Amino acid sequence: MPLEFLKRRGNQSAEPAKAAQPATLSTALPEEIVAQEHQLKLYYAGKSSEGVRMKAGPNAMAELPSMLVGLALAEIEVVEPLPIEFSQATPTIARPSEAMQWLNAHHVHSPITRHALVVLESIDAVDLAFDTFVCSLLDGEVDTSGYPEYNAIVGGVASHWDEATGDMICRAVVGWGGRGVRGDTDRIGAKLLAGILTNVLASQYALGITSIERPVPAAGRGGLVCAHCGFASAHERAFYCPKCGMRLLRG
Ligand SMILES: [Zn+2]
């Protein structure tokens, strides 16, 4: 009796499953697997020039935006170095903590500047741990939301304080990119880079071309609070305040 009972139950449960199976379904692995391809190629590129040593001081800092006059096709924006609370800011949406810091730091800027920062930070052409970045649209067009097209060129002047001397060092930086690439963008970018460098060298504070030693950004907790402007640097090894350029005093 118990055996018959089990048998009956087995048959009952097997029948509906059998009926639901289409006749053509096979669990055998086919010789060739049909795969749909999905891909996105993002292309970011940029160029930065040699540095120009400047007579340091607040006047030289205030003159940075004027170096883009005649080249900028949109508003010229100044992005200041990021303080310690934004030391992990990265434009990478899959890392929510870093992405939130980045958005909190940059949501005030224009779409052009945000695009420029995504491109230029991704390719390590600017580092806001120590750079001040003056930025605009330099070539091409923006879409209906105001964001540069993939072949538009953005950029401007990045400046930092030389850790050895405290002089301001300026360099021209341009970048472009997105979902596509066009053949002549590189050539136009090179031309714009030369144009910006010409403007930097034409500044009354320019002392001449210099080799750049970019500061090494901090990996850890950050550095000191500037006694002059109150800026809390995320840059552990800085001798000079990334924001105002005054010498940082050590404990
Ligand atoms: Zn300062």
Q: What's phi and psi for 231, nearest 5 deg? A: -70, 130
3-state secondary structure of 157: strand
Degrees to nearest 5, angle at CA 107 with 188 and 110: 35
pLDDT > 90? residue 239? no
Q: Which residue has the higher pLDDT, 213 or 3?
A: 213
The answer to whether the CB of 47 falls within 8 A of the CB of 189 is yes
| Average pLDDT for the chain | 87
Residue 48 φ/ψ region, left for φ over 0, alpha for ψ in the -120 to 50 degree band, beta for the rest: beta
Kindly give the distance from the C-alpha atom of residue 243 to the centroid of ligand 1, in angstroms, as a whole number.
5
For residue 165, the CA-to-ligand 1 centroid distance in Å is 16
- 48 has a pLDDT exceeding 60: yes
Tell me what pLDDT residue 10 has: 47
Cα–ligand 1 centroid distance for 225 (angstroms) = 8
Quote the pLDDT of residue 198: 97
**In the predicted structure, residue 9 carries a pLDDT above the cut 60:** no
* pLDDT at residue 49 tops 70: yes
Q: How confident is residue 156, by pLDDT bands cut at 50, 70 and 90?
A: very high
- pLDDT at residue 222, rounded to an integer: 59
DSSP classification of residue 197: H
Q: Which of 67-81, 103-117, 132-146, 163-177 has the lowest mean pLDDT?
A: 163-177
DSSP state of 153: E
Mean pLDDT of 127-138: 95
Distance from the CA of 100 to the center of ligand 1, in angstroms? 25
Q: How far apart are the first and last CA of the chain?
A: 90
Q: What is the pLDDT of residue 60?
A: 83
**How close is the Cα of 244 to the center of ligand 1, in Å?**
4
The distance of Cα 251 from the centroid of its chain, to the nearest Å, equals 33
- % pLDDT > 70, the chain: 86
Distance (angstroms) between ligand 1 centre and the Cα of 144 equals 39
Q: What is the pLDDT of residues 61-86, one digit of tens each?
A: 899 999 999 999 999 999 999 998 89
CB atoms within 10 A of CB 26: 7
The pLDDT value recorded for residue 14 is 47
Of 133, 132, 150, nearest to 141 by C-alpha is: 150
**% of residues, the chain, pLDDT over 90:** 61
pLDDT of 242 strictly over 90: no
